[in-house]
Structure 1
């Protein structure tokens, strides 16, 4: 009897395993093939000036081409953190590149592959991670340059990520000697976008990058061939996309369309056509963003989307053609990229794009070491200094407007700002309200300086944001004073300058710098803040304003603040203002003595880059 019981029990258990395994087999496989640093503009499939990509075109012929896909943010670690969490970076504090400190995922939420793995998927990543969020051990079965779906057991369903670095920005770190060797793509045929200098160097850069796009396409084709060899195309969704925009000057690191509008093609397998709301072989104009990619994978796998994620699925069960037609907006963000600080947000709705520059005096061309390794950046800057650029090309090196509005159908390279034109005020106000609602509800943590967040919020940024939602709304309201006429704003700016809240003073000072000479009446008070404020960064912001209006030389105040800082992240923000003062039209002269900079500050790599650029004295 005991023997018969064991046999029955074994048969029962095998039956349970068989059912569970059968359920796994009914799930589709999902593969992401990711190319680095290229916006949709470099593929002819998406743009008339792009390169031919026959392998990606084959995927599109048996899938859906999404013509409105966006990375949310224009640089690697911030974009990949958005992908892996399916959440907006400014809410999680994952949007600073490169990370000074990693943050945890929100309470009760995991990186999305962990849910797949728990459901029986084999999860692999080959091989780039680059997350600004702490990774748990339950995310990948394998994450390495050798990771492959072929290491799974039997017919176990899998999720695989294949990264292709061929198109990375570093591929344009060429020398003049390399340039003389020419390119496979005909340089003479190259289109140079209107905000770039129309030079041979920029033609060569475009042609060289087209060569890299074609090479990437061949490498993608090799991955697809391996899937076909294994008989997997019939039950595998294949996503091809760029990990953010780029790569020529003024794109990677900037939230214009060249920085965030990415190519996306999804191959639809025959066995799972019912999970695609659009026809195979079609082009779809639905707005989809990186926050949506992870939850879309979960939905394709038949898994419930966790409540703590921001994205919405655009494929899978429950998604209809009508749902796709309603998707007409995307939200983008940019903050610190390496050693360069700025704070920019954007909302695109349909053909209109609204960009909000919260610190408009931080001109786009401000020194960023890695960017300026490109000869294109160097030439662009040199031509500006030589006064050889037209108005559109010169904008990159000049202060911005707090608000920008573009009709992207008429002006795809964002050269004609419509924000001050009377006939566009209704759409401007609508998109302004849209963006203000987003940053308030999120809430957007960047209304605090990064160094303050690292000290006070990074153990649980989401919870910190919820606790300080009222304060953040107050800072947003203060920051938006620069959108008013100065006469209407000045009494509130004065109140902010007198506030007991250091971050209200911080934003009041930024308003002064944004208004420039209009705010000269606050110069005396700013001079007092530069001496007496309790926060070093407020002393620096006050000196920055005084320097921008040429009321007072900012060198002494900023240099002293740098010497008094013992926090690398705080010092980095101070150094951003120092570089701005050095490179602005007044070219203030700084003499930083290395021995007077705190050793702890010197340990921060991004600080080292700034100090190398400024130049140090050893006394």
Structure 2
């Protein structure tokens, strides 16, 4: 009997302990829910969605970015309102389109740091705020307790940083250094009594795609298939595409892009680099390297470049073969820089987990816009076509976002600010043009969400000669109006023509759709307070 009573007592004691542990766990979860979340916002520069394996899966592998998606949500229809670096960044932190935040283009514009921004609102509501890496808005960062950013674009090797006003040079590879600074701030500089918002902004994979020395041979032996319309036939599009200067052959430089310190000038198809490109690569980019870095770099590139020059000089390599070779070098370098980004996303995620910060931290990975990876024979961005209009966006928040969530609704970069404010419990100002998409993540139907998006690009005349244009996209159709020195309309049926090769604006069978999409355009411009007349006013008054 005593033995039985002892067993019963043990069972009751064990049950009590389990209940207590369960209650503690429940209390912990409730406490986490009551706490305002930390925010880690990781952004790269020019990262095409199809160069992320959770979006495409065939080009390269990005297991750490995929980890954010699998532990949280992936957004399959994420778009930007102006596909160029500075304006996109300004839009993200203001929740407003370019014509409202005043930063329309990378040149001639400077961001007005006195205006309302995401970091300012979070800081005013008790958040400890910091940014490391790329700022690229032409003015000093405001709204941050701590900032340590590249001057302008930054450099891949041994870059300069402006550390709260003081310029210092750090030895190492930029992507690794940005993560080092982020972890150092989390470890030593943040206020542990406050929730935090940390922007981790990478230079990569921005042009000119200089891999870490440890990644130089990562894709050796791998040949990437040529993408659609690689030869750039724009006969069914219009002048805007035909006149753009962003071809892998005609625009990429021998030095800055292809990594040659000298080039085969005797080749009949050779086009000399511009003065900036010819000096920038050998004098600045290679000049920043340590002797050890330079030795590894030269050992890899110079021997391969010698083979290319010999093939061109002897006539063994045709023009078409050389153009395809250029594409392979571009892809090898571009994707190798992304591998470093993904490694460092993993480092940051591991740090959060190891230090007990992951449970109550929102982690976002995105890019300032998409990028061309040889589609239409192009690199770069700017156009409203899908490759650069789309941008990756994955986000996790344990306990609040169900792992494996997939969101197909249209989101835009004007929505990032109100979404993060909403999760932080901070009121969203009435003048914000975006909308919080936290409602799309709680598995409840949202009937009044947007079914179209608006776009406006201003930076012409300018680099790559992409004409000014605005337009709208819904689930099936895209309408674009090019203006300035041309006045052309384009309409694409994305269901029948997903690669946007045939403009059907003048097709008699689509005139009803043209009328419908012009009404969608009118409604978007009315909602966001933009117009052709306002665009022409910017132009006539030289305000981009």
TM over 0.5: yes
Instruction: Work out the CA distance in 2 between the residues paired with 1:42 and 1:325.
Output: 32
Instruction: Work out the CA distance in 2 between the residues paired with 1:317 and 1:50.
Output: 29
Instruction: Work out the CA distance in 2 between the residues paired with 1:222 and 1:447.
Output: 47
- Whether 1:443 and 2:538 are equivalent positions in the alignment is no
- Whether 1:357 and 2:482 are equivalent positions in the alignment is yes
Which digits, 9 at most, give the CA deviation of each residue in 1:486-510, with x for residues without a partner?
Answer: xxxxxxxxxxxxxxxxxxxxxxxxx
- Whether 1:348 and 2:466 are equivalent positions in the alignment is no
Change (3 A) 1:280 1:183: closer
Which digits, 9 at most, give the CA deviation of each residue in 1:95-146, with x for residues without a partner?
Answer: 122234444666xxx112111111111111112222368864xx11111154
- Whether 1:149 and 2:192 are equivalent positions in the alignment is no
Contact 2:129 2:145 in 1 (8 A): yes
SS in 1 for 2:209: helix
The equivalences for 1:567-578 within 5 A come to none
Alpha-carbon distance, 1:409 to partner = 4.0
Unaligned runs of 5+ in 1: 1-21, 362-400, 455-568, 570-619
Q: TM-score, normalised by structure 1?
A: 0.56
Instruction: Work out the CA distance in 2 between the residues paired with 1:430 and 1:133.
Output: 41
Instruction: Work out the CA distance in 2 between the residues paired with 1:26 and 1:164.
Output: 29
Contact 1:36 1:165 in 2 (8 A): yes
Question: Residue 78 of structure 2 aligns with which residue?
Answer: 69
Contact 2:130 2:144 in 1 (8 A): yes
- Whether 1:335 and 2:421 are equivalent positions in the alignment is no
- Whether 1:231 and 2:356 are equivalent positions in the alignment is yes
Which digits, 9 at most, give the CA deviation of each residue in 1:565-610, with x for residues without a partner?
Answer: xxxx8xxxxxxxxxxxxxxxxxxxxxxxxxxxxxxxxxxxxxxxxx
Q: Which of 25, 38, 52 matches 1:43? A: 52
Question: Residue 420 of structure 1 aligns with which residue?
Answer: 506
Alpha-carbon distance, 1:263 to partner = 0.9
Instruction: Work out the CA distance in 1 between the residues paired with 2:79 and 2:371.
Output: 12
Q: Which of 263, 266, 279 matches 2:395? A: 266
Change (3 A) 1:327 1:220: same
Which digits, 9 at most, give the CA deviation of each residue in 1:304-325, with x for residues without a partner?
Answer: 1001110100116997632288
Question: Residue 23 of structure 2 aligns with which residue?
Answer: none
SS in 1 for 2:43: strand
Alpha-carbon distance, 1:432 to partner = 1.7
The equivalences for 1:145-544 within 5 A come to 145=149, 146=181, 148-150=185-187, 151-171=189-209, 184=219, 186-196=221-231, 199-248=324-373, 249-270=378-399, 273=400, 276=401, 279-315=402-438, 321-323=444-446, 326-336=449-459, 339-340=462-463, 342-359=467-484, 361=486, 402-440=488-526, 442-444=529-531, 445-450=534-539, 452=541, 454=543
- Whether 1:123 and 2:160 are equivalent positions in the alignment is no
Question: Residue 532 of structure 1 aligns with which residue?
Answer: none
SS in 2 for 1:203: helix
Question: Residue 119 of structure 2 aligns with which residue?
Answer: 113
Change (3 A) 1:203 1:422: farther
Alpha-carbon distance, 1:155 to partner = 3.9
Which digits, 9 at most, give the CA deviation of each residue in 1:212-249, with x for residues without a partner?
Answer: 22222112111111111211111111111111111543
Instruction: Work out the CA distance in 2 between the residues paired with 1:252 and 1:245.
Output: 7
Instruction: Work out the CA distance in 2 between the residues paired with 1:255 and 1:320.
Output: 31
Alpha-carbon distance, 1:169 to partner = 1.9
Contact 2:135 2:141 in 1 (8 A): no
Instruction: Work out the CA distance in 2 between the residues paired with 1:406 and 1:103.
Output: 36
SS in 1 for 2:73: strand
Structure that is richer in helix per residue: 1
Which digits, 9 at most, give the CA deviation of each residue in 1:353-393, with x for residues without a partner?
Answer: 211112363xxxxxxxxxxxxxxxxxxxxxxxxxxxxxxxx
Change (3 A) 1:430 1:135: farther
Change (3 A) 1:434 1:420: same
SS in 1 for 2:506: coil
Unaligned runs of 5+ in 2: 1-30, 150-180, 233-322
Higher relative contact order (CA 8 A, sep 6+): 2
Contact 1:192 1:203 in 2 (8 A): no
Change (3 A) 1:330 1:319: farther
Q: TM-score, normalised by structure 2?
A: 0.63
Change (3 A) 1:104 1:236: closer
Alpha-carbon distance, 1:403 to partner = 1.4
Contact 1:24 1:120 in 2 (8 A): no
Instruction: Work out the CA distance in 2 between the residues paired with 1:75 and 1:286.
Output: 23
Alpha-carbon distance, 1:425 to partner = 2.3
Instruction: Work out the CA distance in 1 between the residues paired with 2:210 and 2:519.
Output: 39
Which digits, 9 at most, give the CA deviation of each residue in 1:68-120, with x for residues without a partner?
Answer: 111221111010011111101123331122234444666xxx11211111111
Contact 1:37 1:246 in 2 (8 A): yes
